[in-house]
Amino acid sequence: MFYGTLDAEAPDPLRLFQLMVDHAEFNVTQPGLAQMYALLAAEACNEEHPAHAYFRDRYDRVVGFIERCLRHGVANGALRQGIDCNAVAREILAVSDGFQLQWGLSGGRWDMPGAVRGYLDRLARTLTTDG
């Protein structure tokens, strides 16, 4: 829905960041869906849970996708050399999921899209070659 607009051959990491903000803005319009996702993902940590393989594979795919975007940014000179793209991808996913959980716990009163935007802006400033 959101990420299909990225160029598969040359995924722009800064465009990815904007799409992640767009996704957070969508999620606040779907509180039940966002809360169900957070609950199922947590429950699926148990290897016996029927959704364990799905969530494990999904997290691997999402981390891989973000990592590819970051690697492309490094290769084309938009992002600094030496970035641990896998570690940054995992951080981005952890922060995103953590913000979604905090938003759910706040009853939707906390500005999750604003927090996602602020985090990704700060991250972009540290990763980009031009700050």
Q: Which residues pair with 79 in a beta bridge?
A: 128
Helices (H), the chain: 13-27, 31-43, 52-75, 85-105, 112-127
pLDDT at 31: 87
pTM for the whole thing? 0.91
* Percent of all residues in the chain with a pLDDT value above 90, rounded to a whole number: 80
Q: Give the number of other CB atoms < 10 A from CB of residue 115.
A: 18
Residue 127 has pLDDT above 70, yes or no: yes
Q: What integer best gives the mean pLDDT of the chain?
A: 93
**Span 16-69, pLDDT tens digits:** 999 999 999 999 998 888 889 989 999 999 999 999 999 999 999 999 999 999
pLDDT tens for each residue of 86-96: 999 999 999 99
Interval 69-81 mean pLDDT: 96
The pLDDT value given to residue 1: 55
